Amino acid sequence: MSVNIAFLSTYPPRECGLATFTQDLIVNLDNNCRLNKTSVIAVSDKNYCYDKKVFFELKQQDRKSYIETAKRINNSDIDLLVIEHEYGIFGGECGEYLLDFIASLKTPFITTVHTVLINPSAKQKEILQILAQKSQQVVTMAKSTIPLLNKIYGISLEKIMFIPHGVPCCKTMSRKQLKVQHKLQGRTVISTFGLLSPNKGLEYGIEAVAQVVKKHPEVLYLILGQTHPGIKRESGESYREQLEAMVKSYGLSNNIQFVNKYLTQQEIIEYLQLSDIYMTPYLNKEQAVSGTLAYAIGYGRIVVSTPYTYAKEMLANGRGLLAEFQDSKSLAKCLNFLIENPKVRTEMEKRTIQFGKQMMWDQVADLYAKLFDRIIKQLSEDEAMVG
């Protein structure tokens, strides 16, 4: 059976985690024999030079574009649409322009939720409820969000499906070899990667490292990634400059380094592979999914993190340590424990590597392909019964 799946999402070269997620999923779906064709309706906040995967664009802040895009999909050969939902990528209050799109859409769709709020505003709750009501299926990447979707948003458990966040499978050199290549022999490497923004809590990570290096001067903390484009448009590089000023004031130029660039996938994986510990001192308690944390777990890194929703799920059963929010002493205590207990670290790493195997993109894409196959068969059967 010929199947045409399209995705409504941001897409590279737009620099955001959702864009990378969608591209990775499509690349792996294209390697799956279950599907015939994939394409993208790209949500654009400015002009981008997209590749041939992009069927057409939806202009993020143009309300008319939402209705026009829905009509264009209705008149296409798309069998099933996948809406990658994040409140911030759609226009209007809390992304409410998406409701205009859904009201005009006749093509069946599923929704993948990238944010599930515990205390949503009335508008945020309404948007997700309508999305779920009209979706064939709602996919979540964290098991912990299933009861939230059910109890807070009233979505039936039968409509919710868990599929883990995907992680690319790339071959790299060993940690030892990579440390030699980067001239980091003898260093204990801690890292954080992703687009920089104030909700990442990196100031607490820096304060924690300032305490750790008093006992362990060999520690190197790598802060990897450029400032988030949205933050840069609003406030320039003020957050990065604040962090750099902290490093200077603590005299940590030998212990904390910034890699100020948008990292390629291969670079991300190599930096993760050479890291001994991964740290996410994030501030948002409700963060349901983190692509950066998923990558770290997928590559078997031991993680020290604040206890946001996704971290609590990913670090369960001894796959890392949880520190308190906005508490550099708590982070430092966790880091010191891991540095000073190599046997514990080795055992944690083994558990994390084993857990991370289920998150490789080829396996995750197969779960999506099976889901699409099931939905399209059900739709065909329903249509036949009506006919």
In terms of domains, do 107 and 202 share one?
no
pLDDT confidence of residue 33? 63
Cα angle, residue 354 at apex, residues 369 and 146 outer, rounded to 5°: 55
In terms of domains, do 118 and 239 share one?
no
pLDDT confidence of residue 229? 83
Q: Record the pTM.
A: 0.88
In terms of domains, do 369 and 264 share one?
no
* Residue 68 Rama label (left phi>0; alpha psi -120 to 50; beta): alpha
Sheet holding 320-322, edge to edge: 256-259, 219-224, 188-193, 277-280, 302-305, 320-322
In terms of domains, do 101 and 203 share one?
no
pLDDT confidence of residue 1? 56
In terms of domains, do 303 and 321 share one?
yes
- CATH number for position 341: 3.40.50.2000
In terms of domains, do 162 and 192 share one?
no
pLDDT confidence of residue 382? 76
In terms of domains, do 17 and 99 share one?
yes
Q: Are 170 and 298 in contact (CB under 8 A)?
A: no
pLDDT confidence of residue 293? 94
Number of domains making up the chain: 2
Low-confidence ranges of the chain (pLDDT < 70): 1-2, 33-36, 386-387
In terms of domains, do 320 and 194 share one?
yes
Q: Are 289 and 323 in contact (CB under 8 A)?
A: no
In terms of domains, do 199 and 103 share one?
no
pLDDT confidence of residue 289? 85
**Residue-range definition of the domain harbouring residue 109:** 4-166+361-386
pLDDT confidence of residue 387? 59
In terms of domains, do 214 and 355 share one?
yes
In terms of domains, do 213 and 255 share one?
yes
pLDDT confidence of residue 146? 96
Cα four-point dihedral sign 152, 155, 157, 162 = negative
In terms of domains, do 260 and 316 share one?
yes
